[in-house]
Each structure stands twice: as C-alpha cells, then as structure tokens.
Amino acid sequence: GENVEQHPSTLSVQEGDSAVIKCTYSDSASNYFPWYKQELGKRPQLIIDIRSNVGEKKDQRIAVTLNKTAKHFSLHITETQPEDSAVYFCAASETYGGSQGNLIFGKGTKLSVKP
C-alpha cells in the first residue's frame, strides 16, 4: 500500500523567512496530494492541494510542487508569520487496482515561526 514520509519533523524559522516541508510517496498511481494545517488543539484544515497532472500550485504565500518522477511533493511558505506556527500534514491518495481510495498521511511537521 501507499507509504508517505514527511521531513523534517520540526522546523523553526524567523518571521519573514521561508519554510519548506517535503514529502515522498511510494504509490506511483497516487493522484491527489493535499496539505493540512493543524493549530494547537484544533482540527486539521485543508490549506492547499495538488493533482497529479499539475506540477505547481500557488495560493498567496503558500505553494506546493509535485515531482511525479521522483515521487515527492513539497509545501513552500514564504514570508512566514507567527500565525503560520502549527503542525502541517501532507497526504497522498491510495489507489486499489485503479480505483481511488483513502488518504495516507505523513507524520507531520511542527513549524515554529519566531517573531
């Protein structure tokens, strides 16, 4: 089945710097890669996602890139702010014989943005 590895597990940056979180996946048939943000004590919320037919997607200060050949995708946050501090999870969709399945999540990255 699908396996998702996420690095780093913790990341500390200064306010205004950029942050990059990387994930790799094992199933070459996976076609959907969402990123979720979870603030302390809150529920995970989708912040951006990318489909396998797209190499990059941007939404204001966040962007996601996908390299299907290497089977990895990354989250980029520019001009970080203290409110970006949270745990970020990547995920990849499972496939079963061509059918679409569930999400497999990475273990998360705790991002701390220091003022």
Partner 1 sequence: NAGVTQTPKFRVLKTGQSMTLLCAQDMNHEYMYWYRQDPGMGLRLIHYSVGEGTTAKGEVPDGYNVSRLKKQNFLLGLESAAPSQTSVYFCASSYGASGGLHEQYFGPGTRLTVT
Of 28 and 81, which CB lies nearer to partner 1 in the complex structure?
28
Residue 101 interacts with partner 1 (CB under 8 A)? yes
Q: Are 4 and 21 in contact (CB under 8 A)?
A: no
Residue 34 interacts with partner 1 (CB under 8 A)? yes
The number of beta carbons lying within 10 Å of the beta carbon of residue 71 is 15
Q: Among 66, 84, 94, 113, which residue sits at the site for partner 1 (rule: CB under 8 A)? A: 94
Residue 25 interacts with partner 1 (CB under 8 A)? no
Q: Report strand pairing: 109-114 vs 10-14.
A: parallel
Of 8 and 16, which CB lies nearer to partner 1 in the complex structure?
8
Look up residue 42 and give its two tokens: 């809150």
Nearest partner of 90 among 61, 62, 114, 112, judged by Cα: 62
- Residues at the interface with partner 1 (CB under 8 A): 6, 9, 30-32, 34, 42-46, 49, 51, 89, 91, 93-95, 99-108
